[in-house]
Amino acid sequence: MSRVRLTVAQATVRFLSQQWSERDGEEQRLIEGCFGIFGHGNVAGLGQALLEAETATPGLFTYYQARNEQAMVHTATAFARARNRLSTFACTSSIGPGATNMVTGAATATVNRLPVLLLPGDVFATRAAGTVLQQLEHPEYRDVSVNDVFRPVSRFFDRVSRPEQLPDALLGAMSVLADPAATGAATVCLCQDVQAEAHDWPEDLFRRRIWHVVRPLPDPASLARAAALLRGAQRPLIVAGGGLIYSAATEALRSFAEATGVPVAETQAGKGSLPFDHPQSVGAIGSTGTTAANSLARTADVVVGIGTRWSDFTTASRTAFANPAVKFVNCNIVTLDAAKQSGAEVVGDARATLQQLQEALAGWSVDAAYRDEASRLAAEWDDVVERAYHRGNKPLPAQSEVIGAVNEMSGPDDVVVCAAGSMPGDLHKLWRTRGPKCYHVEYGYSCMGYEIAGGIGVKLAAPESDVYVMVGDGSYLMMSTELVTAVQEGVKIVVVLVNNHGFASIGALSETVGAPRFGTWYRMRDGRTHRLDGKQLPLDFVANAESLGLTAWRAHGVEELKALLVKAKSVPGPVLVEVETDPLVPAPDSASWWDVAVAEVAELPATKDARLAYEAEKAHQRPYL
């Protein structure tokens, strides 16, 4: 067998450049390129290998510079989501804080079932250098490094301490990344001395390899049980999750919903499964849902979950589905998720399952009166959205008006990106989606700081779309530095910075749990009270963005915001528009609940009242068994 002599790092880069995924006959790179920040532990290995690769074959495997290790993982994760989990990036860091900075990104990817490859540097395999810089010296476990913290947040973990281990580690990582039922963060730790070590590799390791992403078909008996449950249903409801969109099953869903008349509600990741104005669409469900979807959920007798993992928000902390006799049909590619509720478990690809289920239900439909009820409830909610978009709040606009302005100024193929705080909940219930890839909100891990990095990933994946990153001032301050990456790469994103002078989401939540607004305002410490209740912090976000190389403006009100969003279209690089809002004006109520425990004993009257309200809502909670 012919062999080629390369270092471990050079072999890694050459291998990754030849990995492709394929589904339904369409091929694309499985690993699009590599984000990295170099330091002690990877500069002499992967850093040298990436430089050599770019010099020899420019454009084959592109290196992207990042400013924060966590952020570059978010960028890769967002890219993977925008590409329906068929393509992602590798991310490399030094050993030590560079590596552990990636742990939050790894958790975000794994929680959201999205593929990303992490290549942190690791300690000296030979231990020749002793306890070196950035190395953990554990008194009992000599084989432990800081990278072991990746284990619980990775779907695949390995450490390469000898060159011979590399093929097995890389092939194992690829098999997880390309498997929609197992995907998440794949972590391959590369010992720093081993990265630079040469080895004779079989040339076959570097051949073009295609990972075929299959569509598992549902078991016929499981499908028959699901069809039987639906045929006996009077008030069925579909809950569309992210897995449905990743499966490219939105057309199959539309066909199924139109044929059967079953209304469709959407999770955060599943938003956009149907256009907002489709006759069977009733919008968001759960704690951040619409009154239309939640009203139907309360009386549903059969709930069909497609590609959802039934998160706490989706079930409104297990209060959404109040019918004592409710049954669930769970269609999911992951067995764990399919088995979560009682009824019928269907393990299989979302598109294939919907197509076969529609065939099994040929001739069956819900009553016309139920169709009409769902349409009426959806229309009533849309009227609520319209009023929220144009409520004319003074002197500062409400956050819902800012959402409305961005929605109205964006095109049908444009993408809104958001993550943590109050805005994801408001977007879930208020954003009028027009396509399956036009709504990108990370809410599985609710990770503050995801927004800007995620927006870059979305734009890299969909360069033809305008990308609007909606971020609050709190999240912006946590991780705004990837704006430099957007400037460096010429990645055009439009950042709409909603300035409400603090943490609006937790501020609102604190009101309901009896700790009103404590620690949520951005205020100076008052010398008299010794508390953070003095003047507002003197922050200038426009000046900050300009200092990072952006074009930045401040909008005074909604109409000026709209005008600046139009102006932003003609700017070639990234743009930031700041708009101040009133954090005390809530979005329309979802008529739902979220379980956040309240202190059982307290002196504060606000906490005592909150506890009484909590116990009243808690009484409606029950397991779905």
Give per-residue pLDDT as tens, 394-406: 999 999 999 999 9
Distance of CA 499 to the CA centre of its chain: 23
- Is it the case that residue 505 has pLDDT exceeding 80? no
Kindly tell me if the per-residue pLDDT of 128 is higher than 90: no
Q: What is the pLDDT of residue 399?
A: 95
19 pLDDT band (50/70/90 cuts)?
very high
> pLDDT value at position 135?
79
Inform me whether the pLDDT recorded for 425 exceeds 70.
Answer: yes
pLDDT of residue 509: 80
What is the dihedral sign for C-alpha 292, 431, 407, 507? positive
The CA distance from 83 to 77, in Å, is 10
Mean pLDDT of 418-445: 95
Output b/e per residue, 575-611; b: 16+ Cβ within 10 A: bbbbbbbebebbbbebebbbeeebeeeeeeeebeebb
Q: Write the CA distances from 559 to 432, 527, 555, integer angstroms.
A: 19, 39, 8
Report pLDDT digits (tens) over 313-326: 999 999 999 999 99
* Better-predicted residue by pLDDT, 538 or 139: 538
Rounded alpha-carbon distances, angstroms, from residue 129 to 41, 88, 192, 224, 491: 13, 35, 11, 63, 42
Please compute the mean of the pLDDT values over residues 593-602 and round it to a whole number.
Answer: 91
Residue 255 in this model has a pLDDT that exceeds 90: yes
Looking at residue 186, its pLDDT comes to 98
Give the pLDDT score at 141. Answer: 86
Axis crossing angle, helix 220-231 with helix 350-360, rounded to the nearest 10? 60
Q: For residues 64 and 81, what is the distance between their CA atoms, to the nearest angstrom? A: 19
How far apart, in whole angstroms, are the C-alpha atoms of residue 337 and residue 112?
13
Is residue 105 within 8 Å of residue 176, measured between CB atoms?
no
Count of beta carbons in the 10 Å neighbourhood of residue 507: 23
Per-residue confidence (pLDDT) for residue 303, from 0 to 100: 98
Average pLDDT along the chain: 95
Across the beta sheet with 493-499, the strand order is 439-441, 415-418, 467-472, 493-499, 575-580, 551-555
CA gap 280, 163 in Å, rounded: 56
Mean pLDDT of 271-295: 97
Q: What is the pLDDT of residue 1?
A: 74
| 218 token code pair | 């549902």
Name 583's Cβ contacts closer than 8 Å, sequence gap at least 6.
399, 422, 500, 501, 502, 504, 507, 508
- Cα separation, 381 vs 555, whole angstroms: 29
Residue 137 Cα distances to 127, 392, 422, angstroms? 12, 60, 42
HEC profile for 488-518? HHCCCEEEEEEECCECHHHHHHHHHCCCCCC
Whole-number Å distance between alpha carbons of 321 and 374: 16
317 and 595 Cβ atoms separated by less than 8 Å: yes
**Among residues of the chain, what percentage have pLDDT more than 90?**
88
Confidence at residue 131, expressed as pLDDT on a 0 to 100 scale = 65
**Band of pLDDT at residue 524, cut at 50, 70 and 90:** very high
> CA-CA distance, 106 to 103, in Å (whole number)?
5
The residue that leads in pLDDT, 39 or 133, is 39
Give residue 420's pLDDT. Answer: 87
Summarize pLDDT for 197-219 with one digit per residue, the tens. 999 999 999 999 999 999 999 99
Q: How many angstroms separate the CA atoms of 405 and 559, rounded?
A: 8
CA pair distance 104, 66, nearest whole angstrom: 16
Separation CA 318–CA 322 (nearest Å): 9
Work out whether the CA dihedral 196, 200, 202, 203 comes out positive or negative: positive
User: 585: which residues sit within 8 A by CB, 6+ positions away?
Assistant: 391, 393, 398, 399, 400
Bond preceding residue 395 cis, omega within 30 of 0: yes
Secondary structure of residue 581 in the 3-state scheme? coil
Q: What does the pLDDT read at residue 574?
A: 98
Question: What are the C-alpha distances in Å from 515 to residues 210, 421, 534, 593, 606?
Answer: 55, 17, 18, 18, 7
- pTM, rounded to two decimals: 0.96
CB-based contact 242:113 (threshold 8 Å): yes
* Confidence tier at 270 by pLDDT (50, 70, 90): very high
- The pLDDT value given to residue 16: 98
Instruction: Give the orientation angle of helix 368-389 with respect to helix 291-299, to 10 degrees.
Output: 150
pLDDT recorded at residue 513: 83
pLDDT of residue 625: 61
Decide if pLDDT at 605 tops 70.
Answer: yes
Residue 506 is predicted with a pLDDT of: 81
* Burial of residue 133 (number of CB atoms within 10 Å: 0-12, 13-18, 19+): exposed
- Report the share of the chain in percent with pLDDT over 70: 100
Residues in the chain: 625
Q: What is the mean pLDDT of residues 58-63?
A: 93
Average pLDDT over residues 32-41: 95
What integer pLDDT is reported at residue 306 of this predicted model?
98
| Model confidence pLDDT, tens digit, residues 359-368 | 999 999 999 9
Taking 80 as the threshold, does the pLDDT of residue 342 lie above it? no
Residue 382: DSSP 8-state: H
Domains and CATH numbers, the chain: 3-212 (3.40.50.970), 220-380 (3.40.50.1220), 390-501+537-580 (3.40.50.970)
132 pLDDT band, cuts 50/70/90, is low
* 67-104 tens-digit pLDDT: 999 999 999 999 999 999 999 999 999 999 999 999 99
CA distances (Å), origin 199, targets 194, 206, 209, 414, 546: 10, 14, 21, 47, 48
Q: Give the separation between CA 249 and CA 274, rounded to whole angstroms.
A: 10
**Residue in 285, 271, 258 with CA at minimum distance from that of residue 377:** 285
